Amino acid sequence: MNPRRLISFDWALKRLLRSKANYEVLEGFLCELLKQDIRILEILESESSWANARDRSNRVDLKVRNQDREILLIEVQYEREFDFLRRILFSTAKTLTEHLTASEHYARISKVISINILYFDLGQGKDYIYHGRTQFLGVHYHDALWLNDKQQKLFGKHYPHELYPEYYLLKINQFDDIARDSLDEWVYFLKNEEIKEKFQAKGLRKAKEVLDIMNLGEEERSAYEWHVEEMRYQVSMYHSSFMDGQMEGEKKGIRRGMEKGMEKSRMEMARIMKQAGELKEKIMHYTQLTPEEVEAL
């Protein structure tokens, strides 16, 4: 018996997981990814509440605050963006300034964790999960910089990277569908929208219940089906644009190749004629070269 297909995670983030009753699903995913216990205190305003997703300049699907007052930005991205790494940098910077009032000092700046679930190829690398953070390493002794005792007491942290934004990139399409651990079970669900009976990762059992398409009301199911068709349309449009660009590039490449070949032939012909003692005017007539080009041979 095949596992029942479930609601896609991006739809769940926008419509279902914002409910406090369903925090367990998102908390489970975050626990497995960050390898620590996560409890969501509140859902913060994000761009996902906008009526038209195409109007968003900062495409964060969900913004939450955890028990440590950290802010987690969770985004699902299907469309290829070559400047995506710059955009998530902007998102974290924007979040830092938005959540610090004018009267607060720098010690009150929230740590931001940017979690990006990607359905397109970004950069080069063999892995399907990448983690980025800021470290200060000694140029001469190659040691990692620690916080001093007073800083540790003030921030409750030991290293600078615990204060700075962190980034997670999940390249879903690069996953080979083999669940080696509990985090892989989540990645399998994100890729296939299925949860196998043997999966034990935190939050997945609740997800199987909450994200069952059959549990949706008629209006909600209709809206979800429209969403799925819209995503298929966007993927199709992107693929068509990519193929058109590729074919046009191939045509231009062929033209450039032919032009270079003809240019090389003309130069070779002019060289032979010049070596044979032909007049410059005759060489120019047959090869269409300029007087300067003939002189340079």
Q: Which pLDDT value is given to residue 101?
A: 72
- Which pLDDT does position 48 carry in this prediction? 47
Residue at 254 is within a domain: yes
- Rounded to an integer, what distance in angstroms lies between the CA atom of residue 226 and that of residue 243? 26
Q: Is residue 225 part of a domain?
A: no
Residue-level pLDDT at 104: 74
pLDDT at 9: 83
Residue 231 lies in a domain: no
103 and 50 belong to one structural domain: yes
The answer to whether 94 and 46 are in contact (CB under 8 A) is: no
Residues 13 and 64 in one domain: yes
Does 222 fall in a domain?
no
> Does residue 170 lie within any of the structural domains?
yes
For every one of its 297 residues, what pLDDT tens digit does the chain have, with 9 covering 90 and above? 455 567 788 878 877 788 888 899 999 999 999 999 999 999 987 554 444 444 444 455 899 999 999 999 999 888 777 889 999 999 999 999 888 876 677 888 899 999 999 988 888 899 999 999 999 999 999 999 999 999 999 999 999 999 999 999 999 999 999 999 999 999 999 999 889 999 999 999 998 888 887 666 676 767 776 666 666 655 566 556 656 666 766 666 667 767 777 777 778 777 777 777 778 887 787 778 888 888 888
Q: What is the pLDDT of residue 81?
A: 79
Q: Are residues 211 and 281 in the same domain?
A: no
Strands 166-171 and 129-132: antiparallel
**Last residue in a domain, options 162, 184, 215:** 215
| Structural domains in the chain (count) | 2
In Å, what is the CA distance from 50 to each residue of 22, 62, 151, 164, 229? 21, 12, 40, 28, 20
Cα–Cα distance for residue pair 43/206, rounded to 1 Å: 19
List the domain range (segments joined by +) for residue 279: 236-296
pLDDT value for 59:
54
> pTM of the prediction?
0.71
Q: Distance between CA 289 and CA 292 in Å, rounded?
A: 8
Query: Exposed, middle or buried by CB within 10 Å (0-12, 13-18, 19+), for 235?
Result: middle
pLDDT at 226: 67
pLDDT at 123: 86
Domain boundary among 215, 245, 261: 215
